[in-house]
A and B are shown apart, each in its own frame.
Chain A
Amino acid sequence: MTYEHHDYDVLIIGAGGAGLRAAIEAKQRGLSVGILTKSLLGKAHTVMAEGGMAAAMGNVYPEDNWMVHFRDTMRGGKYLNNYRMAELHAKESPARVLELEQWGALFDRTKDGKILQRDFGGHRYARLAHVGDRTGLELIRTLQQKVVSMGTDVFMEVKVLRLVHDADGRVAGCVAYRRQTGEFITFGAKAVILATGGAGKSWKFTSNSWEGTGDGHAMALWAGANLIDMECIQFHPTGMVWPLSVRGLLVTEGVRGDGGVLRNSEGKRFMFDYVAPMFRAETAESEEEADKWYYDHTAGRRPPELLPRDEVARAINAEVKAGRGTPHGGVYLDIATRRPAEFIRRRLPSMYHQFMELAGVDITTEAMEIGPTCHYIMGGVQVEADTAATAARGLFAAGEVAGGMHGANRLGGNSLSDLVVFGKRAGEGAAQYIAAGDVAGPMNAHQVEAAVAEALAPFDREAGENPYDIQRDLQEMMQANVGIIRTQSELEDAAIQLDAFTERVKNIKVKGPRAYNPGWNLATDLPAMITVCKAVTIGATLRKESRGGHTREDYPGADPEFAKFNFAHSTDGGNWDSDIVTKESALLAMPEELKVLLEEAK
């Protein structure tokens, strides 16, 4: 068959912060660039980010610098990070934030006209550049406007189904379909950059949109790259819990950074009871001490509400389990009694709006009910830090789809900066790869046809299952068995159930036409979702310890032996349901001068 076809030097899959930044870089280097996104331009997850982007610019606390940021990131990640990524990120994020202003971004300002920075969990100093609580919107709009002004080809509502190799096994392009018409379309490229974002849609309570199905994670695995740290999933401590229809919707950490505190049903500020030994030295012991800190970080130590997210999420979970939760099974997040109404409306306008309109709660007078929600996947495609290159030749990955940067737990604000730091590096990496000359030949037509046939199969079946039923059951199963707290028997059960889901996916029946058919689109998402869930479950079963975003009820402590490697998954890439093979992949050895930074601060 022949399909609509386009060729580019660099093909970028994903138009969030990472994809757009990569596009700018590749364009600036004179390469032809095509960007593909399965929604409209400007609607990617990045637009939803609220609190800010972390960069040690030292505008509010001049004491801040890349070394402190590096240390905070490694500690937050429980030392499972790719140290080189954490290092590059800490060093380069200030420049990446500043350059956004050249392209039109308008961040909130300090009194002396610099970019204002706000406090977030796990960051020693106020470090998050922000615009109220809509920082992601500012980031994506700025990059989008830059990309458009450079005359870049953007293919909107084009969903990629599979990466395709050339005869020598290099990644040579992809097969996709146009959502608006249902027609297939192929792209050939010398280098492909994956920037497809996260995978949270496989859990029932999630802050992620329909896009977060882990397509990029799965496609990379199928194409011969490795996935690492897949068991490390961030459950953000503060998602809405009521009304049910918005359960999981994010409440920014900025609420706590700006003075909000957590209370149980007895009104107790319970986080003081949950300070792990690792953080005791730098956490306040009393409410009085904590409250001084907001105004002057030298007058007291930080409030325990601002511990890294994994710590706070576990504490909330424990309070609810102990019977001290709210009527709807969360805890209270209270800023109303702590800050003036005017301050709250100015600093947190979209939170004010969100609670008022969706829950009928005025956050300037009432406490919010919140609980953990699946938010971010630390795990992802294993990359080389400096170039974003993956193990599949010609394939690069940046942003949430890449793994390593955040280790076992990501600090708030470190994602938006990750997107621009490694988006740029992926653009550079792809350019260098192309310059070296050993690039892909024509696409393997068999792979194209196989992907097309697989996508169309659900139309041809006489009878079969509704994809929405499978999605719902999958979300419930993952929430119950591979959620925030895990245990061996439930994980083993999950593995068995995932095999059953695999079979169910092979029996999907799709009704209606091909043009803009959400049921069909979901049917094409499910193989990726299940592949990702399998990798998560395997990693969670093997990691017999608790670390960051991976908590085992049966192995509650961290085990130093497990801090020496990542679990790396690969597959022979034959079919989407081919077996996953998992190996230990040793962590990069950290140079002495960086080790010292971690030691000093302990």
Chain B
Amino acid sequence: MAEVTMRVWRGDANGGDFESYSVTQNEGEVVLDVIHRIQATDAPDLACRWNCKAGKCGSCAAEINGKPQLMCMTRMDTLPEGPVTVTPMKTFPIIRDLVTDVSFNFAQAEKVPALLPPPMPEDGYRMYQEDVTRGQEFRKCIECFMCQDVCHVIRDHEGNKQHYAGPRFFIRYAELEMHPLDTNDRRDLIREEMGLGYCNITKCCTEVCPEHIKITDNAIIPLKERVVDAHYDPVAWLGRKIRRRTKRSADDAAVQPAP
């Protein structure tokens, strides 16, 4: 057991300030444990989000000593000695204390044109592990929105939110574009309305991703190639493979025989 000083940002849309709490910290605890202890004792109204406490739901993102992290997966004993500062994600409007308004992300999700698969054969589709592995990487995303938080295109330019989907949604588009069953074409949308061109591959998003998704290398760069190809030469993209197998036509995918 030890005492630790937590400097937690408290306030709302009208402003706020750091408040210091001196709390006990037990062996093996994570930042969220200590925040919960503050709630249970000094400040029952301290607002924060969490659900799973196991890095699975992506609710508890905050900036710990200035760095976006999941509070439930950050062990107190990995932080440097001295007070620990906890602030809400900077890119999103504050609701209260550590809780931000992440509705921008849900609005982006509404714009994504859905998967358009061929009709399903009675006993299901056939897809091979090598066809789905890349998509599965992207589907590990727990929607913590920390990549959205660090991406300078959104972080530094509020106005960009209108026309920039952000890394979380670039992997979503990449996943759909690489989906073995998909027949939708989202290339114009991605280029013209989702602002893929603004991304200058700084890789900050990849670095912060708690699921270790290679957002830039595996999603954004291939997506850029595909979208740019489509723009300058509508047929060239067919030749480029951004996935192991080229997108098959709807009928092909449905009747793919077992090897």
Chain A residues with a Cβ under 8 A of chain B: 39-45, 47-48, 57, 98-99, 101-104, 106-109, 111-115, 131-132, 134, 136-138, 141, 145-146, 148-149, 151, 156, 180, 209-211, 242-246, 249-250, 350, 353-354, 357-359, 466-469, 472, 510-513, 515-520, 522
Count of B interface residues, CB-CB < 8 Å: 65
Interface centre among B44, B52, B109 (most CB of A within 10 A): B44
Cβ of B189 within 8 Å of any chain A Cβ, yes or no, is no
**A436 to B120 alpha-carbon distance, docked (Å):** 33
**A132 to B133 alpha-carbon distance, docked (Å):** 11
Could you tell me if A516 and B58 are in contact, using CB atoms closer than 8 angstroms? no
**A62 to B235 alpha-carbon distance, docked (Å):** 44
Q: Specify the chain B residue showing the minimal Cβ separation from A112.
A: B258
Could you tell me if B258 and A209 are in contact, using CB atoms closer than 8 angstroms? no
Chain B residues whose CB sits within 8 angstroms of the CB of A57 once the complex forms: 124
Chain B residues whose CB sits within 8 angstroms of the CB of A180 once the complex forms: 95-96, 99, 101
Could you tell me if B44 and A519 are in contact, using CB atoms closer than 8 angstroms? yes
Could you tell me if A47 and B56 are in contact, using CB atoms closer than 8 angstroms? yes
Cβ proximity bits B175-187 to A, threshold 8 Å, 1 near / 0 not: 0100101000000
Q: Knowing A41-B106, A113-B256 are in contact, say whether A515-B52 is a contact too (CB < 8 A).
A: no
Task: Using A42-B57, A156-B106, A516-B97 as known contacts, list a sample of 11 further A-B pairs with CB atoms less than 8 Å apart, ordered by residue number in A.
Answer: A39-B49, A48-B52, A48-B56, A98-B120, A104-B114, A106-B135, A109-B132, A111-B259, A148-B109, A180-B96, A467-B44
Nearest chain A CB to B167's CB is how many angstroms away? 17
**A358 to B75 alpha-carbon distance, docked (Å):** 7
**A211 to B49 alpha-carbon distance, docked (Å):** 11
Could you tell me if A515 and B75 are in contact, using CB atoms closer than 8 angstroms? no
Cβ of B73 within 8 Å of any chain A Cβ, yes or no, is yes
Chain A residues whose CB sits within 8 angstroms of the CB of B179 once the complex forms: 104, 106
Q: Knowing A104-B114, A149-B114 are in contact, say whether A48-B120 is a contact too (CB < 8 A).
A: no
Could you tell me if A357 and B55 are in contact, using CB atoms closer than 8 angstroms? yes
Could you tell me if B120 and A145 are in contact, using CB atoms closer than 8 angstroms? no
Chain B residues whose CB sits within 8 angstroms of the CB of A357 once the complex forms: 55, 73, 75
Could you tell me if A468 and B139 are in contact, using CB atoms closer than 8 angstroms? no
**A333 to B117 alpha-carbon distance, docked (Å):** 42
Q: Specify the chain B residue showing the minimal Cβ separation from A99.
A: B120
Interface centre among B52, B176, B181 (most CB of A within 10 A): B52
- List B residues 13-68 near A (Cβ within 8 Å): 26-30, 33, 39-41, 43-59
Q: Specify the chain A residue showing the minimal Cβ separation from B114.
A: A149
Chain B residues whose CB sits within 8 angstroms of the CB of A211 once the complex forms: 51
Nearest chain B CB to A129's CB is how many angstroms away? 10
Q: Specify the chain A residue showing the minimal Cβ separation from B122.
A: A98
Chain A residues whose CB sits within 8 angstroms of the CB of B39 once the complex forms: 468, 518-519
Cβ of B140 within 8 Å of any chain A Cβ, yes or no, is yes
8 A–B contacts from the bound complex (CB under 8 Å): A43-B52, A112-B259, A209-B51, A246-B54, A468-B39, A516-B95, A516-B97, A519-B45
**A146 to B75 alpha-carbon distance, docked (Å):** 36
Chain B residues whose CB sits within 8 angstroms of the CB of A350 once the complex forms: 54-56
Could you tell me if B117 and A102 are in contact, using CB atoms closer than 8 angstroms? yes
Could you tell me if B102 and A40 are in contact, using CB atoms closer than 8 angstroms? yes
Nearest chain A CB to B32's CB is how many angstroms away? 9
Q: Knowing A101-B120, A109-B127, A245-B28 are in contact, say whether A515-B132 is a contact too (CB < 8 A).
A: no
Chain A residues whose CB sits within 8 angstroms of the CB of B120 once the complex forms: 98-99, 101-102
Nearest chain A CB to B47's CB is how many angstroms away? 4
Chain B residues whose CB sits within 8 angstroms of the CB of A156 once the complex forms: 106
Chain B residues whose CB sits within 8 angstroms of the CB of A106 once the complex forms: 127, 132, 135-136, 139, 179
The 5 residue pairs across chains A and B that have the minimum distance between CB atoms: A243-B28, A512-B45, A519-B44, A113-B126, A149-B114
Interface centre among A106, A209, A243, A519 (most CB of B within 10 A): A106
**A44 to B56 alpha-carbon distance, docked (Å):** 11
**A250 to B53 alpha-carbon distance, docked (Å):** 11
Could you tell me if A43 and B58 are in contact, using CB atoms closer than 8 angstroms? yes
**A57 to B43 alpha-carbon distance, docked (Å):** 51
Could you tell me if A112 and B96 are in contact, using CB atoms closer than 8 angstroms? no
Chain A residues whose CB sits within 8 angstroms of the CB of B48 once the complex forms: 518
Cβ of B149 within 8 Å of any chain A Cβ, yes or no, is no
Cβ proximity bits B107-123 to A, threshold 8 Å, 1 near / 0 not: 00110111101001001
Cβ of B129 within 8 Å of any chain A Cβ, yes or no, is yes
Could you tell me if A517 and B45 are in contact, using CB atoms closer than 8 angstroms? yes
Could you tell me if A243 and B27 are in contact, using CB atoms closer than 8 angstroms? yes
Q: Specify the chain B residue showing the minimal Cβ separation from A94.
A: B124
Could you tell me if A518 and B28 are in contact, using CB atoms closer than 8 angstroms? no
**A551 to B256 alpha-carbon distance, docked (Å):** 51
**A243 to B48 alpha-carbon distance, docked (Å):** 23
Chain B residues whose CB sits within 8 angstroms of the CB of A101 once the complex forms: 117, 120, 124-125, 127, 181
Could you tell me if B46 and A518 are in contact, using CB atoms closer than 8 angstroms? yes
Nearest chain A CB to B131's CB is how many angstroms away? 8
Could you tell me if B45 and A40 are in contact, using CB atoms closer than 8 angstroms? no
**A104 to B58 alpha-carbon distance, docked (Å):** 21
CB < 8 Å neighbour of A358 from B30, B51, B57, B96: B30
**A104 to B136 alpha-carbon distance, docked (Å):** 11
Could you tell me if A134 and B45 are in contact, using CB atoms closer than 8 angstroms? no
Cβ of B104 within 8 Å of any chain A Cβ, yes or no, is no
CB < 8 Å neighbour of A47 from B12, B28, B52: B52
**A357 to B98 alpha-carbon distance, docked (Å):** 23
Could you tell me if B44 and A468 are in contact, using CB atoms closer than 8 angstroms? yes
Chain A residues whose CB sits within 8 angstroms of the CB of B126 once the complex forms: 112-114
Chain A residues whose CB sits within 8 angstroms of the CB of B49 once the complex forms: 39-40
Chain B residues whose CB sits within 8 angstroms of the CB of A146 once the complex forms: 114
Q: Specify the chain A residue showing the minimal Cβ separation from B60.
A: A43
Could you tell me if B44 and A510 are in contact, using CB atoms closer than 8 angstroms? yes
CB < 8 Å neighbour of B114 from A145, A243, A245: A145
CB < 8 Å neighbour of A148 from B27, B41, B110, B125: B110
Q: Specify the chain B residue showing the minimal Cβ separation from A113.
A: B126
Interface centre among B45, B55, B113 (most CB of A within 10 A): B45
**A47 to B139 alpha-carbon distance, docked (Å):** 12
**A104 to B56 alpha-carbon distance, docked (Å):** 20
Q: Specify the chain A residue showing the minimal Cβ separation from B28.
A: A243
Could you tell me if B56 and A137 are in contact, using CB atoms closer than 8 angstroms? yes
Q: Specify the chain A residue showing the minimal Cβ separation from B136.
A: A106
**A223 to B96 alpha-carbon distance, docked (Å):** 34
Q: Specify the chain A residue showing the minimal Cβ separation from B45.
A: A512
**A555 to B26 alpha-carbon distance, docked (Å):** 40
Cβ of B228 within 8 Å of any chain A Cβ, yes or no, is no
CB < 8 Å neighbour of B115 from A48, A104, A113: A104
Chain A residues whose CB sits within 8 angstroms of the CB of B143 once the complex forms: 42
CB < 8 Å neighbour of A353 from B26, B47, B55: B55
Nearest chain B CB to A148's CB is how many angstroms away? 6
- List B residues 143-186 near A (Cβ within 8 Å): 143, 176, 179, 181
